Amino acid sequence: MPTNKFLVDTSRCIRCTGCEAACKQFNEVPQGIRRLRVVTINEGKPGETNVPMPCMHCTKPPCLSACPVTAIYKRDDGVVLVNKDKCIGCGYCLYACPFGAPQFPDTGLFGSKGKMDKCTFCIEPFNQKDEDGNLIQREAKPRCSVFCGTKALLAGDIGAITEEYKKRIAGKLPSGAVPDVA
């Protein structure tokens, strides 16, 4: 069983927002909800850095611990999901999350009054259920990553993406100096 993670190569990210748009179109996320947002620090100055911020699917998710109704769960492949049927919209998860990943729709928007939504590794679209009421469960393949304009946003099994990242930085460092980023 792979352990799914995101890994951001900030030296590549240019804030082209391809990831944000890919996420929106693939998951049919309504306006106002941002499952992923690119944050820029030091904008317009030397040291300007862009960081795409989806849900990091933490190994020990603080949101999961904070949820009073156990709506949040972690799958065997590492992906953290929310059961919208259980969610009461209290927002504790948002306070607990260091990345601000949990999102709450405005009241009335598409009828989903205050149910928490966040990045699902593209497993679930915004509306979790199809027209027959079945839970939609797609493959774990984040479209932000496959669409990433510069391949800055790596996603997938932690082993595979670490290998890819190591290859990139190998060119920049003297041989033997590749740090272990896992």
Q: Binders of ligand SF4: how many residues, by CB under 6 A?
A: 15
Residues in contact with another protein, shown as a per-residue x/- string from 106 to 125 under the rule CB under 8 A: -------------------x
Residues contacting 39, CB < 8 A, separation 6+: 50, 51, 52, 53
Query: Among 159, 126, 154, which residue's Cα sits nearest to residue 141?
Result: 154
52 binds, among another protein, ligand SF4, none (CB under 5 to 8 A by kind): ligand SF4
C-beta of 89 vs 125, nearer to another protein:
125
Backbone angles phi, psi at 22, to 5 degrees: -60, -40
Residue with the two structure tokens 């149910």: 115
The CA distance from 155 to 4, in Å, is: 7
Residue 68 DSSP code: T
Q: What x-and-dash track marks residues 12-51 binding another protein by CB under 8 A?
A: x-xxxxxxxxx-xxx-x--xx----------xxxxxxxx-
Report the first-to-last Cα separation within the chain, whole angstroms. Answer: 17
SS3 92: helix
Residue 153 binds which entry of ligand SF4, another protein, none, CB below 5-8 Å type-dependent = ligand SF4
Q: Site size for another protein, by CB under 8 A?
A: 55
Q: Please name the residues in contact with 166: beta carbons below 8 A apart, sequence gap of 6 or more.
A: 178, 181
Q: Select from 69, 164, 181, 182 the one that contacts another protein (CB under 8 A).
A: 164
Instruction: Give me the residues that bind ligand SF4 (CB under 6 A), please.
Output: 13-19, 38, 50, 52, 148-150, 152-153
Instruction: Give me the residues that bind another protein (CB under 8 A), please.
Output: 11-12, 14-22, 24-26, 28, 31-32, 43-50, 125, 127, 129-132, 134, 136-139, 141, 143, 145-151, 154-156, 160-161, 164, 168-169, 171-172
